[in-house]
Amino acid sequence: MVHWTNHWSGKLQDNDSQDLWSATEDPLSRLDQQWFKEKRKLIADESAFVYQMREGTLEQHVWCSLPHTTYTALTPDNPPSGQRTSFITTVPVEQQVIFVQALHYDACEGNQVLGRLEVAEWTADTLQISWNHADSQASYHIHLLDGKVYIEKLV
C-alpha cells in the first residue's frame, strides 16, 4: 500500500459537502490517529480541490494511474500553533503507480477560475499531460525509461 500525502496550510473548501465527502474512521497512517481531526473520505469522482489559504487560493488537481482512495483531515501545522489540511491518497500497488499533480496558486481573493488537468496514457511508458487554466494551456509528454522520468514540453 502506498500513502501519498500533501499538507496545506489552508482549509479545503467544500470539505463539508455531503455529496463529495463522508466522515470516516479509517486509519490514515501508522501515526496515532489522535493527530487526525475531521477525517473525511472522498465518495465522489472528483480530482480538483480548492484550498482557502491565508492569502488567496490554491487549486490542486490530481490524477492516479490506479484505483485509489482519497482522504482529508486536519493535522497539526508546522509550527503546531494551528491546523493544516492533510490530503492523503492510498493505493494498493503490486508493481508501480503514477501520480500527477498540478497546483495553481492565485493571490487574488475571489478570482477563482478552476483549471483542468487532463492525463492521457499513450503507452505504458508515456503520458501526455495538459493543463488548461483561463487563457493559458501547457502540454507535456512524460516518458518513463530505465527508472528515470523525462519531461518534454509540447509547443
Residues 41-99 pLDDT 10s: 999 999 999 999 988 999 999 999 999 999 999 999 888 888 999 999 999 988 889 99
Same structural domain, 134 and 77 = no
Annotate 12-39 with DSSP letters as a single string.
ETTTT-TTTEEE-----SSS-GGG-EEE
Grid cell 490554491 is found at 58
Same domain, 58 and 75: yes
Q: Check if the beta carbon of residue 49 is closer than 8 Å to that of residue 40.
A: no
- Encode pLDDT of 95-133 as tens digits: 889 999 999 888 886 666 678 899 998 888 899 999 888
Cell digits of residue 33: 490517529
Note whether 123 and 52 are same-domain residues.
no
Domain that holds residue 21: 2-113
Examine the domain organization and report whether 144 and 108 are in the same domain: no
How much is the pLDDT for 112? 64
Instruction: Mark whether 106 and 120 lie in a shared domain.
Output: no
Q: Is the pLDDT score of 139 beyond 90? A: yes
The backbone torsions φ and ψ at residue 74, rounded to the nearest 5 degrees and listed phi first, read -90, 135
Residues 80 and 149 in one domain: no
Query: 138 and 86, same structural domain?
Result: no
Please write down the HEC assignment for all residues of 38-56. EEEEECCCCCEEEEEECCC
151, pLDDT greater than 70: yes
Q: Total structural domains in the chain?
A: 2
The reported pTM is 0.86
